[in-house]
A and B are shown apart, each in its own frame.
Chain A
Amino acid sequence: MNFATKVLHGTSCFDPITGASSVPIYQASTFHQADLDQPGTFDYARSGNPTRAALEEAIAGLEGGERGFAFASGMAAISSVFMLFSAGDHVVVAEDVYGGTFRFLTRVLSRMGISVTFVDASQTEAVRTAITPTTKGIYLETPSNPTLKVTDIAAVCRIAKQHDLLVIVDNTFMTPYYQRPLELGADVVIHSATKFIGGHSDVVAGLAVTRDAALGEQLYFIQNGMGAILGVQDCWLVMRGLKTLKARLDVSTNTAEQLANWLSAHPEITSVYYTGLTEHPGHQVQASQSSGHGAVLSFDVGSRERAKALFDRVKLPIVAVSLGAVETILSYPVTMSHAAMPAEERAARGITDGLIRLSAGLEDVNDLIEDLKQALENLPPLQKIEEEKEAFSRA
């Protein structure tokens, strides 16, 4: 079945009893048990709820995995999946991970005796070098946030196999429409479903899918034990969003491509990061492992002052934290998504003061270009800033 059909018909996303075209919202915390000796499928809603089960089945099907899980947020999915590890374990982590993941790993999980090494995962050999005798897993985000570095998932999975490591991939930027890491050898896929999967900036949610049943059983134990589950109304909203995932991404990706090309040619922009640009260093790998380049791009205007001027002048995009919505969203990683990261760590990752992340929505691309065009006019000159900087450093 093709993806466009699968998002609509891939799973039993209708109510088996009434035939309703949309799964009902089971706003029930507990389920009556008919027989003491034969517990029903559902007993307590943290352990399982029919509405959540429908979403979990849907995402497992789309990612090509055995078992799906819905969590209260993307971070709840990430913190739950990391519970697969124990004190003393070591995990190799892609260095450009989302700031919230970085914060969780370095300020919460570190206190629990789990150590991590951050590496530039776009360099496959760097991943291999970081492996120690206590390494138990590799955690990837590709393309990375916000500079869109690409990791060769299959190559990393081959290394992981040799060392018997779990490979976990945050697939938020790509969604299963463009990239299915489990098919490339990964063991667990994670989503902030708040983003493209939900797609409407109206629900915070996380998803995880395991490739095999045994790992699924372990993660189920954690999901039920820790209880960071997704509420039923939110499950329903995510499923509703999922139905238009392909249609939305087709438009948004096309827009992102056009914007990337337009920005690349614009004199006020110092650099553009988008894997769809042939000069992007990860372009080839991305094209080989994914069927699309996605709707997120970043660009550098050169300084914080210029970024601020741009943010003040744009009219269409929402200036906000988050991405992957019907509305185009502009974010400033330094104070938003990556604020949780220390300044020196940010600088090392190329998250400069002039960097702006754009998540293309469904507006008409020409309207977006017009808006960006007017916002980029008369920015404080780049040259002057360079001169000031020099003067400052001389002083």
Chain B
Amino acid sequence: MHLETKLVQAGVGKDEKTGAVNFPVYYATAYRHPSLGQSTGYDYTRTANPTRSVLEVTIAEAEAGDAGFACASGMAAVHTVMGLFSQGDHLIVSLDLYGGTYRLFEQLLSRYGLTFTYVDLRDIQKVADAIRPETKAIFVETPTNPLMQITDIREVVQLAKNHELLAIVDNTFMTPYCQRPLELGADIVLHSATKYLGGHNDVLAGLIVTKGAELSEKMRFLHNSIGAVLGPQDSWLLVRGMKTLALRMERHEANAFAVAAKLKEHPAVAEVFYPGLAEHPGHDVQKSQASGFSGMVSFRVRSVEQVGLFLQNLRIVSFAESLGGVESLCTYPTTQTHADIPQEVREYVGVCDRLLRLSVGIEHPDDLIADLTQALDASLVVGGALR
């Protein structure tokens, strides 16, 4: 069955009693036991909830994994996965990385004796050099946030296998519609489902998918023990969002191509980062491991003074922190998503104060281009004169 069909059919007809096309929202926290020692399969909602189960089965199938786990947020998913590791363990992590993940690793988990080395995963030799006896995993974000650098997943997975490391991939930017890391050999896939999977900027959620019975069992234990689970209403909203994933992703991508091409031509723009562009250094790797390029475009303006003017003048695109929704959003990583990464690290990676990140929505592309163009034009005007 194709992914589009699997997603649309999520939960359909699963409510055998009524035949309801859409699976109901089970608000129950507890489930009546038929007798002592007997269970319906549901005991307590933190452990398992029927509505959440529909979501978890759907994402596991979509990512070609063995088990899915829904968490309260993307960060709750990352944190739950990190529960696999113990004091003294070491992980190799994408150098360019979502700021929230960096903050969790450096400011919270470091206090528990976990250590992290941030490596440009495009350079496989550097990754190999970073492996230590206590290394347990490689954590990949590809494309990276916000610089859209592409990691060759197969290459990293092979290295991980050679050294018996877990390969964990944050697949938020791509979704299983474009990229399925487990099929490329990864062990765990993570999502901030708040983004493309939910797709409507209306629900906060995280998802984990594992490959293999043993790993799935460990994750089930952690998910239940740590308890950062997703509520039933949010689970239902997420399933609802996922039914239109394919349609949305097609439009996001088409719009992103149009926007990226236009940004490239604008005099206010110094550089455009979109893996769909043929000149993007990761373009070929991306094509080899993913079926699409998604809707995230970053760009650098020419001077930092332009940033405020550009954001102020946007009419359709919202200046807000997040991505992957039907509405176009523009984020300023320096003060928003990546504020928790120290300035010198940020600048070393390339997340400078001239960088803006666009999550291209599904509005009409002409309207988006017109809005971005007028805001970029305005960013060039200082005191009534062109900069």
Contact = CB atoms under 8 A, between A and B. Distances in A.
Interface of A: 27-37, 39, 43-46, 71-79, 83, 86-87, 100, 103-104, 107-108, 111-114, 194, 198, 201-204, 206, 221-222, 225-231, 233-234, 237, 307-308, 311-312, 318-322, 325, 329, 332, 335-336
Given A73-B227, A74-B227, A108-B225, A29 B203 contact: yes
Given A36-B332, A231-B233, A308-B36, A78 B227 contact: yes
Task: Report which residue of B28, B30, B78 has the largest number of chain A beta carbons within 10 angstroms of its beta carbon.
Answer: B30
Q: On chain B, which size bracket covers the interface?
A: 35 or more
Contacts of B320: 30-33, 43
B231 A307 contact: no
B228 interface: yes
Contacts of B35: 308, 311-312, 319
A204 B37 CA distance: 23
Contact of B75 (A79, A203, A226, A320): A226
B44 A321 contact: yes
A45 B204 contact: yes
B24 interface: no
A185 to B, nearest CB: 26
Contact of A29 (B37, B224, B307, B322): B322
B79 A228 contact: yes
Nearest to B49: A204
A30 B328 CA distance: 12
B86 A112 contact: yes
A307 B36 contact: yes
Nearest to B72: A72
Contact of B227 (A45, A79, A111): A79
Given A72-B228, A73-B227, A204-B229, A308 B107 contact: no
Contacts of A103: 225
Given A36-B332, A43-B321, A113-B87, A104 B27 contact: no
Q: Most chain-B CB neighbours within 10 Å: which of A28, A37, A108, A227?
A: A227
A36 B234 CA distance: 30
A319 B100 CA distance: 42
A46 B5 CA distance: 31
Contacts of B227: 71-79, 100, 104, 206, 228
Contacts of B225: 75, 79, 100, 103-104, 107-108
A29 B198 contact: yes
Nearest to B103: A225
B33 A36 contact: no
Nearest to A72: B72
B118 interface: no
Q: Which 9 A-B pairs have the closest CB atoms?
A: A75-B227, A227-B75, A228-B228, A227-B73, A30-B322, A72-B72, A233-B233, A112-B112, A320-B30
Contact of B73 (A73, A228, A319): A228
A228 B71 CA distance: 8
Given A30-B321, A108-B225, A86 B231 contact: no
B268 to A, nearest CB: 16
30 contacts: A28-B202, A33-B311, A44-B322, A44-B336, A46-B100, A71-B228, A73-B228, A75-B224, A76-B72, A77-B227, A100-B225, A112-B87, A113-B113, A202-B29, A206-B227, A226-B79, A226-B108, A226-B228, A227-B71, A227-B100, A227-B206, A231-B204, A233-B233, A233-B234, A308-B37, A311-B36, A319-B36, A320-B43, A321-B31, A322-B29
A231 B27 contact: no
Interface in B218-239: 221-222, 224-231, 233-234, 237
Contact of A113 (B112, B206, B221): B112
B231 A29 contact: no
B104 interface: yes
Nearest to B44: A321
A75 B46 contact: yes
Given A33-B319, A36-B312, A36-B335, A227 B230 contact: no
Contacts of A307: 36
A72 B76 contact: yes
A217 B30 CA distance: 33
Interface in B154-176: none
Given A28-B202, A332-B36, A36 B226 contact: no
